[in-house]
Amino acid sequence: MNFIKMQGLGNDFIVTHDVKEKDISRIQNQFVTLCDRRKGIGADGIVFVLESSLCDFKMKIFNSDGSEAEMCGNGIRCFAIYVNLLDLNSSPKLTIETLAGKITTEVVGNNRVTVNMGVPVLDADKIPVADTGHITMKPLVIDNKEFAITCVSMGNPHAVIYADDLTDELVLGYGPKIEKNSYFPKKTNVEFIKVLSNKELQMRVWERGCGETQACGTGACASVVSGIINTLHEKSVTVHLPGGNLAISWGGEVTDPVMMTGPAEVVFEGRVRVD
């Protein structure tokens, strides 16, 4: 399998168009090893560039634990740069079929991509959350510690939590417990947010199926939606992540799409045997 190792703000992926969709299940048992940083290529996930009858392309993405994700903001930026780099499509604009619906991207220069991430989902049963209505600053108790969570889906579930300090104890200690809490039927990504100003957030993320990563595009989008709902900042925000910055904006209405702009880069190219 030919591949290009790519990264978006340190969130890294094995990207390939060398595998047909019908063959993915046959090699899926190798995904954990391929993503292993000591025994394989090393990555947070694997992105497949596939043919689509509905859009220009179809994206399937798998986490480093082998589970399939509905959507990935950093991964889809890598997807767009990959297609552009290999001249798989002549246009800088793409429509991409994902499990989260149709996503549109545009390469805007200097390895930067603007993504229309679609409209956020706030209804509990659609996120999904084991609750009803909108989950806004809802108390959730984990190991006798109470968190106020706001839940948003950007095609995949997110629980946003605000804190004065984004410590390892908070992210690494509570992140995995919140991810797997029964309140979230399909588990959840967990974003820990410090509001720096009306236009800036600091974020660390515990990703479902990956653990802590350097960045999460859908998580950054969900966090900005949460902040706007809770009137914590303006509608266009810079999100500072360990791997770098994302520009996120949302109009504030349920019919408004969330827009994300950020980088994606090639790390190296390679070839690996898959049986």
Question: Can you give the pLDDT at residue 152?
Answer: 98
Q: Are residues 146 and 251 in the same domain?
A: yes
Examine the residue annotation and report whether 72 is marked as an active-site residue of this protein. yes
Q: Are residues 210 and 105 in the same domain?
A: no
CA torsion 132-217-84-34 (nearest 10°) is -100
Strands 258-263 and 145-153: unpaired
Q: Are residues 129 and 249 in the same domain?
A: yes
Strands 57-63 and 93-98: parallel
Examine the residue annotation and report whether 216 is marked as an active-site residue of this protein. yes
Q: Indicate if the pLDDT at residue 275 is higher than 90.
A: no
Catalytic residue among 35, 151, 210, 216: 216
Q: Are residues 211 and 193 in the same domain?
A: yes
Beta bridge partners of residue 194, listed in sequence order: 202
- Mean pLDDT, residues 130-138 taken together: 98
Domain interval for residue 243: 124-256
* Cβ-contact 191, 205 below 8 angstroms: yes
Distance CA 28, CA 25 (A): 5
Share of the chain above pLDDT 90, in %: 99
Question: Can you give the pLDDT at residue 200?
Answer: 98
Quote the number of domains for the chain. 2
DSSP notation for 66-135: SPEES--HHHHHHHHHHHHHTTSSS-SEEEEEETTEEEEEEEEETTEEEEE----B-BGGGTT-SSSSB-
81-128 pLDDT per residue, tens: 999 999 999 999 999 999 999 999 999 988 999 999 999 999 999 999
Report residue 147: phi and psi, to 5°. Answer: -115, 145
- Kindly report the pTM of this predicted structure: 0.92
Catalytic residue among 72, 151, 210, 221: 72
Q: Are residues 103 and 143 in the same domain?
A: no
46-89 pLDDT per residue, tens: 999 999 999 999 999 999 999 999 999 999 999 999 999 999 99
Distance CA 138, CA 150 (A): 7
Q: Are residues 153 and 246 in the same domain?
A: yes
Q: Are residues 130 and 214 in the same domain?
A: yes
For residue 247, count other CB atoms closer than 10 A to its CB: 16
**CATH number of domain containing 73:** 3.10.310.10
Distance CA 159, CA 260 (A): 19
